[in-house]
Amino acid sequence: MPAAGIVLIIAVLLIVAALVYYLVATIVALRKIATGLDGAIAAVGEIVAKSAPVEAVVNDINGNLDAAVDALEGLLVKKVGLNDAIGLIDGLYPGAGAEGMRNFPDSGKIVPPRIGEVYTRGVLTLARLGREAPIAAASPEGPVLRHASRASSEVRVLYPNERQVRPQRLPNSPVIGTDSPVRYEQALTPGVRPRPRTPLAAAAGDDETKGES
């Protein structure tokens, strides 16, 4: 056999070996992909099955809540009148009066009046209904009385140098319990704790002591 034939056989063998190696590796990878997709399809099927009844249930909940909101909103208007109702809502949640009330389409155009009457807590509760829940997407932005997710950040803006900025400079919490070390001056009289001695008071006390002696 000529040398050229041997070289050709070697080349063909190498090509076949490369084909086998890479194609087998590709088959293994594709099998992994198929297995993964089977799992994903099963999970997606579960998602579809679990979320199927959600729409009907949520619609039913919303329907009931709509009826309640309609009734309570109507009660608020009946109690205080439309103008004062908008004034109360705008007073509690600045800017919310412009959105108006659901069952009174023109109520958003009312200029919120200044309230000249003292209303009961029940009326204010009616005015707050549906406007304090943190999940209420329609809640007006801006300053609010109480906001579940915003309250702490507002306080931090007011007092930026408190514990959240320099916790290492604050004194440690007192150790309490039966085994706690005595760290504080004992009270001389029940209910009366001696005032901490300042350097100035200590100097004055020393002078008095010297004068008496």
The residues binding another protein (CB under 8 A) are: 2, 4-5, 7-8, 10-12, 14-15, 18-19, 22-23, 25-26, 29-30, 32-33, 36-37, 39-40, 43-44, 46-47, 50-51, 53-54, 57-58, 60-61, 64-65, 67-68, 71-72, 75, 78-79, 120-123, 125-126
Comparing CB distances to another protein, the nearer of 5 and 105 is 5
Report how far apart, in Å, the C-alpha atoms of 163 and of each of 147, 150, 166 are: 21, 18, 6
User: In angstroms, what is the minimal distance from the CB of 178 to another protein?
Assistant: 44
Q: How far apart are CA 93 and CA 128, in angstroms?
A: 9
User: In angstroms, what is the minimal distance from the CB of 17 to another protein?
Assistant: 10
Comparing CB distances to another protein, the nearer of 41 and 201 is 41
What is the distance of C-alpha 198 from the center of its chain?
A: 44
Comparing CB distances to another protein, the nearer of 110 and 126 is 126
Comparing CB distances to another protein, the nearer of 98 and 115 is 115
Looking at the DSSP bridge assignments, the partners of residue 192 are 189
3-state SS of 87-107 is: HHHHHHCCCHHHHCECCEHHH
User: In angstroms, what is the minimal distance from the CB of 106 to another protein?
Assistant: 24
Looking at the DSSP bridge assignments, the partners of residue 189 are 192
Report how far apart, in Å, the C-alpha atoms of 161 and of each of 151, 152, 153 are: 17, 14, 13
User: In angstroms, what is the minimal distance from the CB of 13 to another protein?
Assistant: 10
